[in-house]
Amino acid sequence: MSSLGVVVVLGVFGVLSVRALEQSTERFLSERLLLAQQIADHIDHHLESTLTVLEEAADTVASPVQRADGEAERAVLEELFRTELFSCHVFLADRQGKVLLTVPDIPGLIGVDLSDQEHVARALKEGRPQVSNLFRCPRPLNSLDIAFVVPVKDRDGDLIALLGGVTDPRSQSFSNIVDTLSLEEDLHVEILDGNGMVLASTAYEHVLMESLHRDSLLPLIESRQAGIGTYPGADERDREVVAIAPLEEAPWSVTVEQPEAEVLAPIFSLRRTLVFVGLFALLAAVILIGLNIYTWITPLRELQEATRRIAAGDLSTPLVVSGRDEVARLAGDFESMRRQLVNRREILETEVAERTRHLSALNQMARSLSTTLDQDELLEIAYREITAVLSADAFFIALYDEENKELDFRIRVDEGERKPPRRCPLGEGLIARVISGRKPLLVRDWEDESEHLPPIDLCGLIRPPSSWLGVPIIVDERVLGVVVAQAYRPNVYGEDDQVLLCTLVDQVGLALRNTMRYAREQKLARYLRSLNHAIARASAGLDVDTVARTVTETLVEECGAAFARLWLTDQTGEYLLLRASSGLYTRLNGSRARVSIAEYPYKLGLIARQRKPLITNRVQQEPYFDREWAQSQGLVAFAGYPILVEEKLLGVVALFSRSPLDEEMLDVLGAFVNQVGIALANARLFEETQHRARQLSLVGEIARRAVASFDPDELLWETARAIHTAFGYHDVVIFLVDHERHQLIRKAWAGKYRREPVADLPKPIEEVGILDWVAVHGETVLLNDVHQDERYVPFWKETESELCVPIKDGDTVLGGINVESEVREAFDQSDVQALETLADNLVVALRNAHLYQETQRRLRELSTLFEISGTLRGAATVTEMLPLVLEKTIEVLHADTGVFFRWNTVEERFVVQAAHGCLKSLLGVSIGASEGVCGHVAKSGSPYVFASLAEDSHTAEWLRPLVRDVQGGVCVPLMVRKHLVGALLIGNESPRSFSADEVHLLNAIANMAASAIHRAGLFEQLEHRVHELDSLFEMSRVVTATLRTEDVLTLVVRSARRALNAEG
């Protein structure tokens, strides 16, 4: 019977052994698959962090405060590149996929179209972040890389650009993804892209190569499925166990590879052990059967010996029970009694030891926490003391931000490795239950209790714990944080550990309250020092803008504001003008540069009207703020204060913050704003005094120069430059009015006009615009907001204020002085008075200069006529005279071409007897009395100014091709005692308009030339008459001297020919 029992036992043992081997094999393979999934989660977390950094940079690029020259985008890309997440470069592409900007600069990539790359095309189409497979970068790089691409969207959610980063898989920053994993020595991990290419590997030589198991794993990679199997290794005789898990953030997969012999080594060992155990059991059964008889006597002897040991107080030696007879049952009851006695004694000893340990830990914790008031050092002590008495594979201490529902993990340790601090939302996990329930929570075995509990907060861990113990830090009914201990084994913590941790956390809470009070006092003192220093700097300055800028910079740099702004009231007290802005926004000409106090319905108007501060730490929930904008910028707090001095409103100062404004800051901001008001009032008073002094000095200087100057152009230039230098207006222009042509003529300018000359001056007076209105009406125009006046015509987009005063001589408007500013409310009555006084002084100067120039013009005219008179006197004949006079006239008038027409009284036509320049082809041409401008001036008897001679209505058709190059000129008649002598035409080959003074001078030259031509003609007629008489006398003398008829006739013909100037 005993032999049969042994056989049955051995059979059952064999079946159970085989089943155990199968289960062990499945468990080992499941562990490898779970490891692959955990590593995939770890890499997904890394990729998600990288994409989050890119998306935050994309939000910055999409901000409306960007500058047009691209420097803001470059700064964002440079900051992104410095994170060292991307080893190659980062780039910005437009919404067609063309590269706009790279950091570092890669000129060859600018303008390259990336839309043919799969990841770029998907990002453009789907508008979501994308991670690429291994791809080859475009020339000039031509390298194998991977890319991260995120869309850049505007406030409406429309895609406007792509922001991306490219990294080399072989770079240290990327290979660290697998290098930093804590793995078994023979375990091999690889990251494969969607095509089975190795991106990262614990075997560096495999990077950028096809996976050894690519053909087998490709179906799993493409279907995004996890799996495990055995495949041939590098040596066909060896096989490897390969577990694969897909990633969520990229089209990649992770493989965990290990030789099959290594993975199943414990199974093989167990199999051998079971064989040996079975053989040994069989042998033991044979022996036991042989000794069966002996077992009846031995238990009784052992029971007797055990009784003596217990009586002596020895409970440590167990009683071996064997068999099923009455003696064995008696021995079993005896052994049960012994174990109960042992257990009871151990419980008593354990309770005493546990109580002693608790008291020791409390004492040590109290001593350690009392040594510091630094919060970080205190939490470090708490971690050290708690983990000294409480076993923990992972340990956290997190402070709770009740207002923002966030946890600030200050201490994070996982299996002895310190993790960096991090902030995260409260969520709905175990920690949230501890904080909301305000009581501890103990989880002995997560697998057994998970269905009744919220999820575990991994807090950056790779794998979830099995045992979990969390205790809230509560002081004065307020939850300050939570302490969490975790273990990767079940049933590590019990009720005693919970009590111990609660007691220790109470000590930590009291010490934490003290450090928070101390930190509050230190922060208050720091704020006071910083703001007092800023007040000292602001009070030392006497420039309003400098004081305002000091205030806003202090609020940003010292108080941690995201941005701060300061508005001052204008001279009327009806508007707030933005004078300083620091931090996130620095522009001074935006939509809030000028705000109506009475009409503005939002926060600035409320603060100014009610003259009370407006403070909130709930910007994203308040109706006075743009919630969408606040959320996009991460703004949570706002503080705005009216600046009051002696009950008078000077302005408003306001700040936005990305973190709540604490009580310490708010305690000192009110006093700070009061001091700012005094500094601004002093600076305003000094600025007004300096402004008036500069005005008076400038008026005096211009008056002195006006008396001494005879050059109006130089005086106007000096005046424009002096106004720009003294008052800082960004545009100054002085114009004159040409009443004859009904035009405005820009004579002098400074500032922006100097940099960018205006193309429409001189211009016709059309009564459109401020300058035209002043020129017509002769009245001063003061616009402190140009956009509110319908007469204003925009030219410079920066102009906000304009002042224009007329320059008048009696009721005649001679011109005007126009100044512009980029700031609204830039001018007041002192500016009007100063410029009107300057205008009066310029009238005297212009009048004196006009008389001086008129005298000079008359002298130049007389000098020119004298020179031409000498030329006329030196010429013997009209043929010599006309070219000389023509050339001299062209030289004096700085012209290019000219023609002398002489009137033929017999044929009644004009003959060109002298020509110069492009009109030389007309020399000798005969023109009818009605065929050109010469005929027109002969008929009218007055000078005629023309533009294009070929297009003039008086020019005959056949003449037009000959005169097409003359683009401007004047023609005057040559008259002597109302008798026509000819005409003089002077022209220019480029467009030109001859002035009235030039026409007057040309007319004088024509009169002089007409008289000289007339006298020369009379002289030629007299010479001709004398020559005729000489010929007749000679002929009569010869005739009387000969009697031959033939000789007489020959002499008569010869004399006639000579008289008529005929040839042979």
CATH classification of 727-850 is 3.30.450.40, yes or no? yes
pLDDT (average), residues 593-598? 85
Amino acid 586: pLDDT? 87
pLDDT digits (tens, 9 = 90+) for 562-593: 999 999 888 778 888 898 999 988 888 888 88
Q: Can you say how many angstroms the Cα of residue 788 is from the centroid of all Cα atoms in its chain? A: 32
699 touches 841 (CB < 8 A): yes
Collapsing DSSP to helix, strand or coil, 124 comes out as helix
- Name the residue among 758, 695, 685 with its Cα closest to residue 729: 695
SS3 604: helix
Beta strands in 169-216 (DSSP E): 188-192, 198-201
Task: Give CATH for domain 173-263.
Answer: 3.30.450.20
Q: What is the pLDDT of residue 674?
A: 79
Q: Residue 959 pLDDT > 70, yes or no?
A: yes
Q: Kindly calculate the radius of gyration of the chain based on its CA atoms and give it in whole angstroms.
A: 53
CB-based burial, 92-116: b 16+ in 10 Å, e otherwise: bbeeebebebbbeebeebeebebee
Asked if the peptide bond before residue 991 counts as cis, ω within 30 degrees of 0, the response is no
In Å, what is the CA distance from 542 to each residue of 532, 653, 825, 925?
17, 19, 20, 80
Confidence of residue 440 (pLDDT cuts 50, 70, 90): very high
Give CA–CA dist 58/505, Å, rounded: 43
Q: Which residue has the higher pLDDT, 140 or 964?
A: 964
Mean predicted confidence (pLDDT) in 679-684: 76
Class of 370-520 per CATH? alpha beta
CA 40 to chain centre: 36
Tokens representing 452?
């009744």
Q: What are residue 971's phi and psi, to 5 degrees? A: -125, 130
| Range in 532-536, 815-819, 910-914 the model is least confident about | 532-536
Q: Give the model confidence (pLDDT) of 701-736 as tens digits.
A: 665 665 555 677 777 888 888 777 777 777 888 888
Same fold, 370-520 and 727-850: yes
Whether the CA torsion 586, 591, 597, 601 is positive or negative: it is negative
Distance of CA 626 to the CA centre of its chain: 21
| pLDDT greater at residue 687 or residue 968 | 968
**What token pair was written down for 500?**
């111990």
Average pLDDT, the chain: 79
pTM exceeding 0.75: no
> 875-1024: which CATH topology?
Beta-Lactamase (3.30.450)
> Would you say residue 771 has pLDDT above 80?
yes
Q: 464-468 contacts: CB < 8 A, separation 24 or more?
A: 465/393, 465/394, 466/490, 466/492, 467/443, 467/491, 467/492, 467/493, 468/430, 468/441, 468/442, 468/443, 468/493
| Residues contacting 902, CB < 8 A, separation 6+ | 878, 882, 910, 911, 913, 981, 982, 1013
Nearest to 421 by CA among 395, 393, 398: 398
- The reply to whether omega before 762 is within 30° of 0 (cis) is yes
Pairing between strand 968-976 and 188-192?
A: unpaired
* The pLDDT of residue 712: 73
State pLDDT tens for residues 199-241.
888 888 888 888 888 888 888 888 888 888 888 876 666 788 8
In this structure, of 321-325, 944-948, 1053-1057, the range with the lowest mean pLDDT score is 321-325
Task: State the architecture of 541-689 in CATH terms.
Answer: 2-Layer Sandwich (3.30)
Digit-coded pLDDT (tens) for 115-168: 889 889 998 988 899 999 998 888 777 888 999 999 999 888 889 999 999 998
99, 93 Cβ separation under 8 angstroms: yes
Q: CB under 8 Å to 119, separation ≥6 — which residues?
A: 130, 131, 132, 133, 135, 147, 149
Average pLDDT over residues 682-703: 66
What SS3 class is residue 354?
Answer: helix
Mean pLDDT calculated for residue range 488-501: 87
**Exposure class string for 218-251: b at 16+ Cβ within 10 A, else e:** bebbeeeebbbeeeebeeeeebbbbbbbbbebbb
- Cis upstream peptide for 883 (omega within 30°): no
Asked whether the predicted pLDDT for residue 401 surpasses 90, the reply is no
Res 805 pLDDT > 90: yes
Residue 228, beta-bridge partner list: 243
CA distance linking residue 590 with residue 74, whole number of Å: 23
Name the strands in the sheet holding 227-232, side by side, starting at the edge strand that comes first in the sequence.
198-201, 188-192, 253-259, 239-246, 227-232
In terms of phi and psi (left: phi > 0; alpha: psi -120 to 50; beta: otherwise), the region of 63 is beta
Dihedral over Cα of 835, 840, 845, 851: its sign: positive
Please report, rounded to a whole number, the percentage of residues in the chain having pLDDT higher than 70. Answer: 76
Residues 6+ apart with CB under 8 A from 370: 511
* DSSP state, residue 197: B
Q: What are the residues whose beta carbons fall under 8 Å from the beta carbon of 703, sequence distance 6 or more?
A: 841
Q: How does DSSP assign 813-835, residue by residue? A: EEEEEEEEESSTT---HHHHHHH
H helices within 897-995, ranges in order? 933-940
CA atoms within 13 A on the CB side of 157: 4
pLDDT higher than threshold 70 for residue 193 = yes
Q: Residue range 972-981: average pLDDT?
A: 85
- Tell me what the mean pLDDT of segment 382-402 comes to: 86
Other C-beta atoms closer than 10 Å to the C-beta of 147 total: 24
- Report the distance separating Cα 904 and Cα 915, nearest Å: 17
DSSP 98: B
Question: Which two tokens mark 22?
Answer: 């199968």
Could you tell me which residues come within 8 angstroms of residue 339 by beta carbon, excluding any fewer than 6 positions away?
Answer: 318
pLDDT of residue 1052: 66
Q: What three-state secondary structure class fits 308?
A: helix
Whether the CA torsion 193, 199, 203, 205 is positive or negative: it is: positive
Band the pLDDT of 758: cuts 50, 70, 90: very low
Would you say residue 472 has pLDDT above 90? Answer: yes
Instruction: Locate the domains of the chain by residue range.
Output: 173-263, 370-520, 541-689, 727-850, 875-1024
What pLDDT was estimated at residue 851?
65
Pick from 18, 462, 36, 21: nearest CA to 229: 36
Lowest mean pLDDT among 31-45, 177-191, 691-705, 958-972: 691-705
**Residue 653: exposed, middle, or buried by beta-carbon count in 10 A (0-12, 13-18, 19+)?**
buried
Measured distance CA(440)–CA(479) in Å, rounded: 12
The tally of CA atoms less than 13 A away on the side-chain side of residue 704 is 6
pLDDT at res. 143: 84
- CA–CA gap between residue 954 and residue 929 (Å, rounded): 11
Please state the rounded mean pLDDT for residues 189-193: 90
